[in-house]
Amino acid sequence: MVNKIVISTNIHQAVSEAVGAIEYDRLFLLTDETTDRLCRPLIAEIPCMKHAQSIVIGATDTHKNLDTLASVWTALSTGGGSRHSLMVNLGGGMVTDLGGFAASTFKRGIPYINIPTTLLSMVDASVGGKTGINFNGLKNEIGVFRTPETVIIDTEFLRTLDHENICSGYAEMLKHGLISSRSQSSPLRGELEGGISTLLTFDLDHIDYPLLGQMVGESVAVKEKIVEEDPQEHGIRKALNLGHTVGHAFESWALTRKPVLHGYAVAWGLICELYLSVIKTGFPTETMRQVVRFIKENYGTLPITCDDYPELYELMTHDKKNADGIINFTLLGGIGDIRINQTATQEEIYETLDFFREG
């Protein structure tokens, strides 16, 4: 279940080797309208990619739906795709999630390669074998676990990103820094004066790309280690859900109003779930406040009111981690001190939303 992850400094060589390692009859390249324009040129001249059949879908998460999925299946079918075909997904998390699901279900599953082009997809969506689409107003409601043959991470693509998408991906890096072990010898080793300090002092307005590239590699290693231990999320992989129970509710709430990027919703979810960690599992208040300060300075806030609490609570009840209708959280006792399968009362969740608005 563990991805083969290639941290690339030569995208032509990495793609050639990954595609060349697979026997296939037809090659398909999935992009969205944005990555087709900005990122496809970086791989278009690779000999193996010159013969790829192009499938282009609409950009943004609003297209991560059943209609788009069906259009990809149709393109694979009319393009002569078989059980021996190969698909390359070039794009952000929407493309790798939907493309991975399309590949996993077409002809009962064809191999696929992910080439993430956003920071979010590099450190989160493309790694770990989760695929899926949004359905019935809920994030990633339909999907399967199926790992790509290879994930090729090349931070050169990050220079095509706007500020908001850099911030979106960085939220997942913050999460990885919060859950990583204190004993890990890396810039994300989880000590406030070390790894978290680095993350909380990084200047998102003036990107140091070489440093960001190093941090991406370390962040991916955190997720890779957890996925290797628990590929199907029966236990410790739930650590990766820190910030996501509330974050997914924020994201689903925003879908019917003004959609927000996934990482922004996760960042706001981190505020709420670190506050819950303070009141439920003893997370240090000052550490929580430092993280909250960084998030509010870089991500702003979501304009919820107390009138939205019942809807947000209802959305949380649909979270895939829940059992028997009980809302399930991943919380922290401290940096790297992971507490999975935590619960909270409706009153405590409303108190958390109060803190988000006013804290």
Residues identified as active-site: 108, 130, 172, 223, 233, 237, 241, 244, 248, 262
Residue listed under structure tokens 């500020």: 163
Is 143:131 a contact under the CB 8 Å cutoff?
yes
DSSP 153: E
Is 268:302 a contact under the CB 8 Å cutoff?
yes
Which residue from 144, 160, 216 is spatially nearest to 186, judged by alpha carbons? 216
By the 10 Å C-beta count (0-12 exposed, 13-18 middle, 19+ buried), 323 is classed as exposed
Which residue from 352, 180, 63 is spatially nearest to 198, judged by alpha carbons? 180
End-to-end Cα spacing for the chain: 41
Residue 172 dihedral angles phi and psi, to the nearest 5°: -70, -30
CA distance 307 to 226: 38
Residues comprising the chain, all counted = 359
* Residue 279: its H or E element: helix 262-281
Residue listed under structure tokens 């059943």: 66
Which amino acid does the sequence have at 298? N
| CA distances to 101, 145, 156, 300 from 142, in Å | 9, 11, 32, 30
Query: Helices 209-229 & 163-179, crossing angle to 10 degrees?
Result: 50
CA distance 204 to 161: 12
